Amino acid sequence: MSRIIGIDLGTTNSCVAVLDDKGIPKTLADADGERTIPSWVSWAPNGQISVGQRARRQAVTNAAATIYGAKRLIGRKVNADDVSWFARLAPFRIVAAPNGDAWVRVHGQPISPQEVAAHILRAIRKTAEEALGEPVTRAVVTVPAYFDDAQRQATRDAGQIAGLDVVRILNEPTAAALAYGAHRVREGRRIIAVFDLGGGTFDISLMSVENGIFEVLATGGDTALGGEDWDRRVLERIVDEMFDQYRVDLTTIPMAMSRLREACETAKKALSIDRETTISLPFLANDQHGAPINYERTVTREYVEQLTKDLLDRLESPCKRALADAGLTPGSTNDIEEVLLVGGMTRWPAVQDVVERIFQRKPSKGANPDEVVALGGAAYAGILAGEADDAQLLDVTPHDIGIKVGDSGFALVVPRNSMLPVRARRLFATTTVDQKFVSIELYQGEDKEVAKNRKLGQVVLDDLPKGPAGSVRVELIMTVDVEGILSVTARESKTGREASVTIRPSGGLSQREIVEIITRRRQESSHAGVLPGGGVRATTQEHMIAKPDDDDET
């Protein structure tokens, strides 16, 4: 059996790790020596597909066909609030697939986010195969704790398209805790906070660990807050200054904006160590008289902190809300024992100060925040393969599962964080005289209002025996197996008549569609230069949201 790799498939960057010969998780570098790759995919007009840093470099010249943030779309409906928000900002088009899923449109062709993610996973797989010198076919892939079944299944499907058997989907905070060895502490229950500030998103998770069981107590965050906001603040200030000084509007010069954006990020990273740095960009633009502007400016950490103070403030309330949801008070003796930092932006000293203030303890800095999730994925892969220590780690249901009651209520049947496999029963009674059938609608989510949760399916039991309201009883039995497959049976108590339904998590693509994508991809690789298209995409009807029908056609 080939080794199982651990993959952190991130919103901004991705990373891969594997256990080394001594059983220690190690990240793997690609041919350029990089241990993280930008989660970007770009389609050149001639059909050439680039991934990672090469794709990101096309963000200016080929913006409409250069996709980032596919993780924000995977397994999501196009009309979800944060998808609409992302669609308004993104320079590429986000469109609705026939089933309402959020897809992207590249050179006129709709493409599922699963397929975009598959390109990233394929690049990661290649990195791993080259580093290990052996074929890689199995992976543990991490996802945010709040991902629902559809998002998790869509991530698995992306793996399948990339030729990877995703043996397990692992929660990112659990992965971070594993990388810190939290599963090895055998005695008692520990509570851990995982503070994850990446390039574009902020997630806070509070979890408990006891005997190998990781329980998510509360999650929160801000999907519109990340390191890029810090970069943008500095960039906007420089753009204003340039305009005041030279009357040049840099926002109209894409190449200058691209260079400036990169320089601002580099300066920010330098300032997380040094107090002062220089941004130097020769020939950035021409002034009004056509003379070149050689831009140079010293920036201090203090200055960037002033520009971004409100961003820091925005970290606080999601943490407080999560603490309240989990019933925890920072500073009290038996509460949070450890705060783990994840995401490159947690290297920023002011962010670490905020974390310390909120949780009233110094965060642990033992692991590299860009790599810690992938390292945890590899540690888990080792546990699954029996290579690592004999720690056990149990899978749990990520969300409540229940049924619709009355017009809009949600009745809980299987609570979230139930260890898999799990079985639960509930008894219901008819509500009308001689009721002929019951139709039980199944939902996943935490909201008391059923419409705000995700519908999974329904089970209908008919030919009920006659009788007054409340006299006929129907027992509902729900089982979720270790693979997360939900089976539901409704049984009328007197006659034993029953109806069942099995619900496999669906990420939005059918197996047939996945196989078609794989086949098309193979054909494309053997006919370099062919435009993306054909197969399922060519026949897909779609309507657009947010973006006018203008610039990206070829």
Interface with ligand AMP (CB under 6 A): 10, 12-13, 36, 198-199, 226-228, 265, 268-269, 272, 343-345, 347-348, 370
- 36 or 42: whose CB is closer to ligand AMP? 36
Q: How far is the CB of 176 from ligand AMP (least distance, A)?
A: 11
**Peptide bond just before 421 cis, omega within 30 deg:** yes
Q: How far is the CB of 347 from ligand AMP (least distance, A)?
A: 4
Which letter does DSSP use for residue 452 in this model?
G
CB of 28 to ligand AMP, least distance (A): 16
Rounded to whole angstroms, how far apart are CA atoms 372 and 26? 10
The residue whose Cβ lies closest to ligand AMP is 227
Distance between CA 307 and CA 283 in Å, rounded? 26
Reading phi first (left if > 0) and then psi (alpha if -120 to 50, else beta), residue 539 is in alpha
Q: Closest CB to ligand AMP among 75 and 343?
A: 343
Angle at the Cα of 40 (from 34 to 42), degrees rounded to 5? Answer: 120
* Cβ 548 to ligand AMP shortest distance, Å: 30
Supply angle C-alpha 377, 205, 402, rounded to 5.
Answer: 95
Of 95 and 372, nearer to ligand AMP (C-beta) is 372
Query: How far apart, in Å, are the Cα atoms of 189 and each of 209, 364, 395?
Result: 6, 18, 17
Least Cα distance to 149 among 549, 518, 512, 503 occurs for 503
511: buried, middle or exposed (CB in 10 Å: 19+, 13-18, 0-12)? exposed
Residue type for position 385: A
Token pair belonging to 53: 């840093």
Residues 6 or more apart whose Cβ sits within 8 Å of residue 170: 140, 141, 142, 143, 376, 377, 380
Measured distance CA(17)–CA(386) in Å, rounded = 17
Q: Residue 184 and residue 310: Cα distance in Å, rounded?
A: 39
Measuring CA to CA, how many Å separate 39 from each of 44, 384, 439, 539?
Answer: 17, 26, 43, 28
Q: Whole-number minimum distance, CB 83 to ligand AMP, in Å?
A: 19
The amino acid at 295? Y
In the residue annotation, 172 being an active-site residue is answered as: yes
Q: How far is the CB of 342 from ligand AMP (least distance, A)?
A: 7
Rounded to the nearest whole angstrom, what is the least distance from the CB of residue 180 to ligand AMP in the complex? 16
Shortest Cβ distance from residue 265 to ligand AMP (Å)? 5
Catalytic residue, candidates 26, 30, 71, 268: 71
Choosing from 101, 149, 157, 172, the catalytic residue is 172
Mapped onto helix, strand or coil, the DSSP state of residue 408 is coil
Please identify, using beta-carbon distances, which residue of 369 and 382 lies nearer to ligand AMP.
369
Q: Is 71 a catalytic residue?
A: yes
Q: Is the dihedral of CA 408, 414, 420, 425 positive or negative?
A: negative
Beta-bridge mates of residue 428: 474
Nearer to ligand AMP, 159 or 200 (CB): 200
Q: How far is the CB of 321 from ligand AMP (least distance, A)?
A: 22
How far is Cα 154 from Cα 548, in angstroms, rounded to an integer? Answer: 28
Which one of the listed residues 149, 157, 196, 231 is annotated catalytic? Answer: 196
Residues in CB range of 515: below 8 A, 6 or more apart: none
Give 544's strand partners: 95
Do 403 and 202 form a contact (C-beta atoms < 8 A)?
Answer: no
Closest approach of Cβ 14 to ligand AMP, in Å?
A: 8
Q: Which is nearer to ligand AMP, 265 or 513 (CB)?
A: 265
Gap between the Cα atoms of 271 and 541, Å rounded: 49
SS3 415: coil
Contact call for residues 88 and 224 (beta carbons, < 8 A): no
Q: Which amino acid is at 265?
A: E
Please list the active-site residues: 8, 71, 172, 196
